[in-house]
């Protein structure tokens, strides 16, 4: 099947997913500050409250009491990447500066460069489905994978094998950017620096955000130093549960075993309580809608979906009811393919 024969919105060649013959009202491109502040309050609030509860739980019921909280902390650390993603699109707040400041705070909690995160994500939108997709391109290596390999791919983050490498890589990239000399004003007659090389926020600010946020996290988690060993909870949950939820979400949004070379495969998931708790926030479960209209703020994505349904644009293959249902479907497809090969 050629790329042009694919259902609209599911797969497109050359990385770019574009709506064909469908537009949305101009006012849907305007962010809602009310939606934005509510998202910031909920995501940071739940995460900080969970960390502050750790010493209280240990003091009252012992170490075992913190175990049920660990996946929740990991999930909300991961959800900060969705908040930072919206800041990168400059569609969370109406103010560009406020978007960058909240994104900077997210980067501080994630020990990540906001600048590098944004550039990797823009690359994903420009080159989705191609070898130049630098953010979530691991789905490109799974086309011929067996069901066993797919399962191992999904659970691998739970063993922490990639957490240290990612943290060191992010800090190394930030250090290189920090060390790069950039004159405040170009010399007369000199060409301006390419936009891709101009930092979104100061590297110094990014380093300070990381240090400040991590100190705050350690103070909250340890109860002001009463339980110093609890400072390990945050990096361990972020590096296991957080990366696990992130990988599963990316897998379910983009993996398609019958994808043709150069096609960008995108899938939406209908809202449900379990997926909302661990995998989604800010309506980002509507991922087809986001790729079709990446500059429409997340607060308007449900309206975009209703509009696409009303005009008959969306097709059943573009959506899944549950994350687990998507995984089961892909694994079943992989097993069926292997059975056909063996027979």
Q: Is the pLDDT of residue 135 over 70?
A: no
- What is the band of 11 on the pLDDT scale with cuts at 50, 70, 90? very low
CB 29 within 8 A of CB 278: no
> Model confidence at 339, in pLDDT bands (50, 70, 90)?
confident
Q: Calculate the average pLDDT of the chain.
A: 84
Instruction: Collapse the DSSP code of 319 into the 3-class scheme (helix H, G, I; strand E, B; otherwise coil) and give the result.
Output: strand
Q: For 33-92, what is each residue's pLDDT tens digit? A: 999 999 999 999 999 999 999 999 999 999 999 999 999 999 999 999 999 999 999 999
**Sign, Cα dihedral of 218, 222, 225, 227:** negative
DSSP-assigned letters across all residues of 9-48? TTEEETS----SS----GGGGS--HHHHHHHHHHHHHHHH
Looking at per-residue pLDDT, the higher value among 129 and 42 belongs to: 42
Q: CA dist 206 to 98, 104, 203, 220, 284, Å?
A: 15, 6, 5, 21, 25
Angle (CA) 181-186-189 rounded to 5° is 140
Per the CB < 8 A criterion, the answer to whether 257 and 306 are in contact is no
Residue 51 pLDDT: 97
Q: Return d(Cα 189, Cα 208) in angstroms, integer.
A: 34
Sequence-distant (6+) residues with CB within 8 A of 169 are none
Among 12-16, 107-111, 141-145, 170-174, which is the least confidently predicted range? 12-16
Nearest to 82 by CA among 229, 317, 290: 290
Burial, 129: exposed, middle or buried (Cβ in 10 Å; 0-12, 13-18, 19+)?
buried
Instruction: Give me the residue label for tokens 């309206």.
Output: 303
Evaluate whether 89 touches 119 at the Cβ level (below 8 Å).
no
β pairing state of 263-265 and 11-13: antiparallel
pLDDT at 167: 61
Q: Which residues contact 88 (CB under 8 A, 6 or more apart)?
A: 103, 114, 117, 118, 121, 122
Which residue would you say has higher pLDDT here, 341 or 37? 37
Count the neighbouring beta carbons within 10 Å of the beta carbon of residue 149: 13
What does the pLDDT read at residue 4? Answer: 37
Query: In the 3-class helix/strand/coil scheme, how is 124-190 assigned residue by residue?
Result: HHHHCCCCCCCCCHHHHHHCCCCHHHHHHHHHHHHHCCCHHHHHHHHHHHHHHHHHCCCCCCCCCCC
In sequence order, what are the residues at sequence separation of 6 or more whose Cβ sits closer than 8 angstroms to the Cβ of residue 196? 119
* Whether residue 249 has pLDDT greater than 80: yes
The structure tokens listed for 13 are 């060649």
DSSP string, 243-258: HHHHHHHHHHHH--TT
User: Tens of pLDDT along 153-192?
Assistant: 999 999 887 766 666 665 666 566 656 554 444 444 444 3
Helix (H, G, I), strand (E, B) or coil at 265: strand
**What's the confidence (pLDDT) of residue 190?**
44
């Amino acid at each position: 099947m050629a790329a042009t024969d694919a259902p609209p919105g599911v797969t497109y060649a050359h990385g770019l997913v574009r709506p064909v013959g469908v537009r949305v009202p101009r006012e849907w491109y305007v962010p809602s500050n009310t939606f934005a502040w509510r998202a910031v309050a909920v995501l940071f609030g739940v995460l900080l409250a969970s960390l502050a509860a750790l010493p209280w739980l240990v003091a009252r019921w012992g170490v075992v009491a913190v175990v049920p909280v660990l996946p929740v902390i990991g999930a909300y650390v991961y959800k900060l990447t969705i908040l930072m993603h919206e800041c990168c699109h400059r569609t969370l707040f109406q103010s560009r500066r406020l978007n960058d400041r909240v994104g900077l705070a997210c980067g501080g909690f994630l020990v990540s460069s906001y600048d590098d995160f944004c550039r990797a994500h823009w690359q994903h939108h420009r080159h989705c489905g191609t070898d130049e997709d630098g953010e979530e391109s691991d789905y490109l290596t799974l086309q011929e994978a067996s069901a066993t390999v797919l399962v191992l791919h999904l659970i691998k983050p739970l063993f922490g094998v990639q957490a240290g490498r990612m943290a060191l890589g992010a800090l190394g990239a930030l250090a290189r950017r920090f060390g790069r000399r950039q004159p405040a004003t170009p010399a007369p007659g000199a060409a301006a620096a390419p936009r891709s090389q101009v930092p979104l926020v100061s590297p110094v600010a990014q380093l300070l955000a990381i240090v400040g946020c991590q100190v705050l996290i350690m103070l909250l988690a340890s109860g002001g130093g009463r339980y110093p060993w609890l400072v390990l909870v945050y990096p361990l949950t972020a590096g296991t549960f957080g990366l696990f939820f992130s990988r599963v979400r990316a897998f379910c949004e983009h993996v398609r075993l019958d994808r043709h070379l150069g096609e960008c495969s995108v899938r939406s998931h209908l809202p449900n309580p379990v997926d909302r708790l661990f995998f989604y926030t800010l309506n980002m479960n509507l991922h087809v809608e986001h790729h079709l209209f990446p500059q429409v703020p997340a607060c308007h994505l449900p309206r975009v979906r209703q509009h696409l349904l009303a005009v008959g644009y969306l097709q059943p293959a573009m959506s899944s009811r549950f994350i687990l249902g998507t995984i089961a479907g892909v694994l079943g497809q992989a097993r069926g393919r292997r059975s056909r090969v063996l027979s």
